[in-house]
């Protein structure tokens, strides 16, 4: 439930945070509310202090998997898919 002091803009931000299970990017909230990202950050700050929303930080690029590893995994998955498709084609 939004706090009594919440403005219509605050309420616009609370609703997607309450109805979705995954974190919402600030830019997406701003677009949905038709507000600037800066304004949304201030409004979220107002809601953060009393605990009406939580904030999570994105994973720093240094902690993301290496792009080469991801490409190798994708190539391996594609190879599995091709081998499965070939197996299905050999019926008869």
Alpha carbon distance 14, 47 (integer Å):
8
pLDDT, one tens digit per residue, over 59-90 is 787 788 888 988 999 998 888 876 655 555 54
More confident call, 1 vs 92 = 1
Alpha carbon distance 10, 7 (integer Å):
5
pLDDT, one tens digit per residue, over 14-62 is 877 777 778 888 888 889 889 999 999 998 888 888 887 888 877 787 7
Provide the residue ranges of all domains of the chain, joining segments of one domain with +. Answer: 8-89
pTM of the model: 0.56
State the fold for domain 8-89: Arc Repressor Mutant, subunit A (1.10.10)
CB 19 within 8 A of CB 35: no
End-to-end CA separation in angstroms for the chain = 62
């Amino acid at each position: 439930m939004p706090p009594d002091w919440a403005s219509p803009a605050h309420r616009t931000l609370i609703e997607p945070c309450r109805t979705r299970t995954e974190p919402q990017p600030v830019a997406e909230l701003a677009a949905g509310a038709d507000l600037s990202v800066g304004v949304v950050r201030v409004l979220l700050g107002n809601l953060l202090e009393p605990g009406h929303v939580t904030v999570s930080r994105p994973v720093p690029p240094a902690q993301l998997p290496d792009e080469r590893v991801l490409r190798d995994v994708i190539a391996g998955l594609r190879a599995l898919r091709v081998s499965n498709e070939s197996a299905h084609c050999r019926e008869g």
